[in-house]
Structure 1
Amino acid sequence: MQQAIFSTRAWALALLVILGAAPLVAVSQEEFEIHNTRVRISFDPDAGTWGMAAQDGSVRFSDAAVAVQLGGTSVKASEHCRRIARRQQGSDELGEFIRLEVSHAGLPHLAELVWSATLRPSSAYAVLRVSARIAPDAPGPLQSIQVAEVSGKPSLRFGKEPAEWTRFSDSGGQGGTGVSPFFTGEKAGHASPATLVVHDAGARQSLLVGWLSWSGSNPALRLAGSKQEGLQEISARCSYFIRDSVSEAAAEPLLIGFEPDPLASLDEYAQEVRLANHPPIRKDTVLGWLSWYCSRLQMTEQFVLDNAKVISDRFRGYGVDTMQVDHGWEYRDIVGHWVANDRFPHGMKWLGQELEKLNVKLGIWMAASRVSEFAPFYAEHPGALIRKPDGSPWVFIERWTWAPHGRVFNLDPTHPDAQRHYRQSLQGLMDAGCRYYKVDFIGSAGVTDGLFHDPRRPRGNPLVRYEMQQIRDAIGPDSWLRYCSSPTNVYCGIVNIGGATMDIGNASGSWDHLEKYHQQLGSCWYKHRTFWHNEPDALIVGEGPENEARLRCAWLVLSGGVVALGDNLPKVAPERMAMVPKCLPPYDVAARPLDLFEHVPSRVWDLRVRTPWDDYHVLGLFNFQEREAEIAVPLDRLGLAASRLVGWEFWTQSPVDPGSKPFSVKVPGRDCRILVLRTAADRPQVLATDMHLTMGGVELPEVKWDAATGTLSGLARRAPGEKGTIFLQVPPAYEVIEGGAKQADCVVSVPLTFQDCEAAWTVRFKKGPANE
């Protein structure tokens, strides 16, 4: 590590300083501070508070209070005590760091209170941790740990024009996440169980506060202020619902960042979440089919097999291999008795075997924690359900949506009979060959005032995770596990797949709903492959208007996540079926919504595509207005303002001219355009294809230019029987002598037919007379 990374000092050994009422040595404030080139963070040994500031002074706060609530008593770090400061250096998956740790001894009712802050070289954020060892004389159970409480104008400096501020909030659910004005009146307060960002675009300042985990407590954030005074409050607190006393506890780690670009701040935050939780993110991803939207409760085993035959014949070559049977396969269409109903007369094990013959696998929907009053388990084990404070079973759904309706309860995950029910229900599906589980209607175990068989277990998030962990343990580490309800972040570290947004719904022109879906999906880009694999819900192209089908294709490809085809495939018209391969397989990287903080809904999504032969941008331009809109492309945000570029639009299969200043594209009402932008070469180059929306990201594994022979060649990859075209950008100095046909000015097309999964192609050129 370079000495200049954090300080002018070389901290070869941890520095230890002890403070008391009468310190034995003089102590400088510097010894309670760490910094890098961008931020500094310090602990005030006299006041017992901490602060953080950007090195340029643009953003800062001070006097952040730390406290532990024990019963009705608040124990604050600011009270008189002995303090010990230590500095540590180390490294982890994300690189080097330095940590300042301050421990407190002599506080009432606490054996020890420890506060720490961690910085990385050149980063504009810090990670804060607070833990406590609780003394036997505590006046009551642990109720909360306060990591930060900042209030008052003198303690906060942020931004210049509060009226123009925007804020990002993670709702903690599958809807409601996104950006909106910070102020809609003179005063405002915003809360989140996960992440908040306030952004001042004019001042180029952002403040992010975000929890890194949700495993042992129930964390909450709040930012508040007024247009007159600006930001006035930062609050970060972890609550605990524990009946018995505990000897030690730790708050969830908290990240606070000052990165000017809020998108970059969220990206950095997500990497720290990944490090804190070690989620089961895999190198592969799920490509499958989903029954719900195309069949609802009319689904039969033959319906599933008919769709599986299409998957096997048409899409297995792209990696589609999972048939996810949704709600409607189980006993009486209710929850709590997970055996096949009459529409699946041969049972799920037989279905799994039939699917294997088609070279695909069984996936399943289930509400593993729910129990209908019509399920045998309800009559046999009423004591294994979550109960109200009066002892009666807690009814979480008064009337199940589908016949025979009835009340719905929730398993008590601490009860042995409930735990046995999880294992037995899931083992039957494991025996049927199921290795993909979509778990819905989960999360009710988080009620904090219910009665549970084991009253010692912490309530809220810890119990919700305990419930999901039992499902994970039953299906094993190799099965795919997806949550499908709120809360969301609490499952990070257990599930493989997260529902990135609300249900997409059938293609029926529900534009208000689709706009909300779009905003939620775009706002969660940073969670893909950091929290889990994002799933954007089903791809439906066989119904509805063509413009809506184009939007749905764009959402699937640009979100980068799990694929779930949602049509009744044998009934899809050929021209619509041809849209599906253009989304397969996924590139598996999520596009960033460049204007997330400037425009609601976001209109410009940027997917950076890196291949062995090129590094380029694919842009999704979205228009939710009824009329045509001209959408500006922010080349400066892409780092391309000074570059000579070539471009192509996928849906119209036509060139675009990125050289115009400013560069903008007309997008029809309620539609999208997909652009590729590449740095122009002084020789022939690949411009685009009509085979996949990434226009080279997955379907062109190899491209080579041989200057000696004037040959551009490569390999293309598609399913056998498919056809496609590669478009080449050819400078005026070159002309084709073999292998391609002129498409437009400076554009040559190369048609391909795939006898096998790969097709080789070659185009030879010569320079024109003016350049010889």
Structure 2
Amino acid sequence: MGISLDEQSGHFSFEHNGVLIGPWSASVIVNGQTHTASAAIQTSASEAILQFADIGLLWSFTARERDGGETLELWSILQNTSETALSLGLVRPFALAGEVDLWDPSATVVQPLPGVIKQRAVHRLADPECPRDSKIKAQFYNSVSRRALQVGFVTFCRADTVVAHTADEAGRLLSLEASCDYAGWELGGGEMTEIEAFTLSLGTCPYAQLESWADRAAERCAPRTWEDVPLGWLGWSWVDAFNVENYEATLLRNCRAMRERLGGHDLRYVWVSIGNLAGGTPGDWLSWNYENFPSGPEGLAAKLNELGFRLGLWCGPFYICSALEDTVEELGDALLERDGELMVVRPEWSYGDHGRLPKAKRPCIYALDPSHPRAQAWIRKVFTTYREWGVRYYMIDFLNAGAGAIGPHVYDSHHDQQLVAGPEAYQSFLRVIREACGDDTYLLSSSGPMVHNAGIVDAIRTGNDFGEGRQISPDSFFYPASFVINSSGFWTGPLFALRNQACSYYTHRKLYINDSGNVLTVDSPLPLEDARLHATIHTLGGSPAMVGDDIDRMAPDRLDILRKTFPRPRDVAKPLDLFDTPHPDHPHLFHRHIATAWGQYHVLAVYNFGAHELRQDIAWEQLGVDPEQQLAVWEFWNQQYVGTFSGSVEAVVPAASVRVYRLTGDAARPGLLGTDMHILMGEMEVRRCQWDADSMTLFGHAWRPGTEVGHVFLRAPAGLAVVDPRELWVAKDARDNSLVIKKRLDFAREDNGWSVQFKHIQ
């Protein structure tokens, strides 16, 4: 075992491949006082006990090594051997004081994990804006020594787990500790409790450590599995269905338009947000807005079912609006308090009817106690009724309101003291929702905890309100419009979404589905390059999507961009430069290696949010490809044959743009270069592509809905000619003499394939 315990000092150390972390101490805060061990005993190579004789506490540890010895897990139990209950505070299994040698400090970066959704980035330790606290885990990496260090926990559902560090202005790591806060929870006399499992990894690859952490965390939190990629419609971007048009009429005409204009694509959900609520008032969840939806809830669900859609709703389950005075009085102590007063989690509610009030007269929002039986009964009734109405999709929002110390709203106390404040109390409330809405209902969470929702929700919105519009309300930034353009860094813009997609890629379909795309809006007057950026982020993220555009009225060329994102893949692209582009920069390179039954290839998206052209060398080693191998390169948005290269290729991306490259091997024979039908250029629309050397023929077959027309682009190396060029567009590349061939596919016809025979020429 790489771990050792110094019985005299009670300190631990861990060594792997000649790198030592330690010695570190462990301590507990009990009854408000910090205690260190009075005795330490190593009972075996993998087990140890720390004794706290003054308070009658035993802390027993079991060490496990994972990842070939690179990773240590410390599973531990606290046992109260006294007859008196002990009030637990911070439990620290790891506290490393003094400078931590992470090698060249100027090259050391950290990826922290916030407790709730906010803009994420990798930071240099020397960056004064670097967050010093991280929830659950922190990932360090030094690009000079190529050493990676991960410190944190692989369980996190009871106590608030934090990894904290300090650093000086040069980037030297001065201290590092990991703790879990039991927030006064009492361990009864003679009782024991399992502590959140600590983990420490020493290696060379931060990506491998992140991916391993997600695998190991999933072993304990029993993630839900939702097999498909949910797609549907929200609207909002270009139509104000609150103040300008009727919400139900807008929704139904768009559902009909989706069946007519996007027929064959599996859009199945409609997300109604706020407009179903009488007055748009949070907390008044079962009061239906018949002005917006005159058919009523069951009638609306029935009309949607006839069109092949399922009704979805927005809900902020912890939210109670102060305008609901009778409800506030009825709930009483089932509402959380801060400093002895009702805790205000949102000072102003600006949606629905309240958005038309002067700012000073808008109501505030209170929060339900997640552990209170009255609050749980309240929310159970809401979601049980919704299920009876036919609701099968939810975006549950503003969950930070009841999350306690996970997020910004730390409450005085909660009702059920058998539950630890924070994660355990919070999860008890979410489990009520999960049970009431049913296993066949898609549950997406937003604006609150992320990882702490694993095992309960199906998906986490990992980023911002990307792609969303707003009702046209005075005193909002959007006013007097419904959508904001030309600001990639805005709350609804793509840069925030891309950063968070990169920083959370490793949890996708391991702990939950990463919904990094949120709402897909591509219609003008959004600039064309922005529409391409939006579509690429959605597709490379493997992300579900709600469409924000008015499908009924949108321009055909922009509708075609939308089609290029359907169907959605399950997998997420990996950010190749996550640890090489620290704040204020952002990752630019997102890669997928795609393996199909008919072949394999690489897709690389290169994003440039800067004001100037980006030129970026892409080395084959970054893609896991032999540097000697020749790859043919095609760019999707320009429909351009870039050339055939070995070792590397230079990506050229204009300002505020994205380019998507397809790289394929076997350049010595004819093959598929790309398509114009789907951004991934093969995985989702090509069913077969095969080269027959005997007949010198390239066969293939593709699928798209019957209303569509598309093209495949083929390449043949120099020295070959097409035997029969009819119905083909054949071009010769002046640089390498290869042929670039376009074949039109009309999917209204039964035969959606190609068969192109070649011959040798001098």
Q: Tell me what 1:518 maps to.
A: 498
Shift of residue 740 of structure 1?
A: 3.9
Q: How does 1:468-617 map to 2 (within 5 A)?
A: 468-504=430-466, 505=468, 506=483, 508-513=485-490, 514=493, 515-535=495-515, 536-543=517-524, 544-599=526-581, 600-617=585-602
8 Å contact kept, 1:386–1:445 = no
Q: 1:234 and 1:596 mapped to 2: Cα distance?
A: 23
Q: Tell me what 2:475 maps to.
A: none
Structure 1 residue 650 and structure 2 residue 636: aligned?
Answer: yes
Q: 1:126 and 1:181 mapped to 2: Cα distance?
A: 25
Structure 1 residue 433 and structure 2 residue 390: aligned?
Answer: yes
**TM-score, normalising length from structure 2?**
0.88
Q: How does 1:183-582 map to 2 (within 5 A)?
A: 183-184=126-127, 190-226=132-168, 230-246=172-188, 247-295=191-239, 297-298=242-243, 300-338=247-285, 339-341=287-289, 342-375=291-324, 378=327, 381-383=330-332, 385-388=334-337, 392-402=341-351, 403-404=353-354, 405-447=362-404, 448-504=410-466, 505=468, 506=483, 508-513=485-490, 514=493, 515-535=495-515, 536-543=517-524, 544-582=526-564
8 Å contact kept, 1:521–1:559 = yes
Q: Which amino acid aligns with 1:205?
A: R
- Unaligned 5+ segments in structure 1 are 1-33, 35-39, 87-99
- Unaligned 5+ segments in structure 2 are 355-361, 405-409, 469-482, 734-738
- Deviations along 1:749-768, one digit per CA (max 9) or x if unpaired, are 22101127x75313232331
Q: Tell me what 2:479 maps to.
A: none
Structure 1 residue 742 and structure 2 residue 707: aligned?
Answer: no
Residues 351 and 123 of structure 1, relative CA distance in 2, 3 Å threshold: farther
Structure 1 residue 725 and structure 2 residue 711: aligned?
Answer: yes
8 Å contact kept, 1:225–1:231 = yes
Q: 1:664 and 1:563 mapped to 2: Cα distance?
A: 32
- Deviations along 1:143-186, one digit per CA (max 9) or x if unpaired, are 12211111124xx4322x2122222112222223211221036x
8 Å contact kept, 1:709–1:764 = no
> 2:28 is matched with which residue: 55, 68, 71?
68
Q: Which amino acid aligns with 2:391?
A: C
Q: Equivalent pairs: percent with the same residue?
A: 24
8 Å contact kept, 1:243–1:456 = yes
8 Å contact kept, 1:109–1:138 = no
Structure 1 residue 767 and structure 2 residue 744: aligned?
Answer: no
Structure 1 residue 171 and structure 2 residue 128: aligned?
Answer: no
Q: 1:334 and 1:238 mapped to 2: Cα distance?
A: 37
Q: 1:224 and 1:216 mapped to 2: Cα distance?
A: 26
- Deviations along 1:185-243, one digit per CA (max 9) or x if unpaired, are 6x987210133222211111121223323211011101233366933322000001235
Q: 2:378 and 2:131 mapped to 1: Cα distance?
A: 43
Between 1 and 2, higher relative CO (CA 8 Å, sep ≥ 6) is seen in 2
8 Å contact kept, 2:39–2:51 = no
Q: Which amino acid aligns with 1:345?
A: P
Q: Which amino acid aligns with 2:27?
A: A
Q: 2:236 and 2:565 mapped to 1: Cα distance?
A: 20
Shift of residue 469 of structure 1?
A: 1.3
Q: 1:458 and 1:142 mapped to 2: Cα distance?
A: 10
8 Å contact kept, 2:58–2:78 = yes
8 Å contact kept, 1:619–1:676 = yes
Q: Which amino acid aligns with 2:15?
A: A
Q: Which amino acid aligns with 1:352?
A: A
* Equivalent pairs, count: 711
Q: 2:695 and 2:21 mapped to 1: Cα distance?
A: 64
8 Å contact kept, 1:336–1:377 = no
- Deviations along 1:415-474, one digit per CA (max 9) or x if unpaired, are 333222212211222122211111012232233543444344321121111121111111
Q: 2:752 and 2:500 mapped to 1: Cα distance?
A: 40
Q: 1:436 and 1:725 mapped to 2: Cα distance?
A: 35
Shift of residue 607 of structure 1?
A: 1.6
Shift of residue 132 of structure 1?
A: 0.8
Q: 2:295 and 2:223 mapped to 1: Cα distance?
A: 37
Residues 551 and 439 of structure 1, relative CA distance in 2, 3 Å threshold: same
Q: 1:491 and 1:668 mapped to 2: Cα distance?
A: 39
RMSD: 2.4
Residues 576 and 229 of structure 1, relative CA distance in 2, 3 Å threshold: closer
Q: Which amino acid aligns with 2:614?
A: A
Q: 1:157 and 1:60 mapped to 2: Cα distance?
A: 9
Q: 2:364 and 2:130 mapped to 1: Cα distance?
A: 39
Structure 1 residue 127 and structure 2 residue 73: aligned?
Answer: yes
8 Å contact kept, 1:165–1:181 = yes
- Deviations along 1:332-376, one digit per CA (max 9) or x if unpaired, are 111111232121121121111101111111111111221113337
Q: Tell me what 1:633 maps to.
A: 618
Residues 744 and 276 of structure 1, relative CA distance in 2, 3 Å threshold: farther
Please say which of residues 516-525 and 357-366 is displaced more in the overlay: 516-525
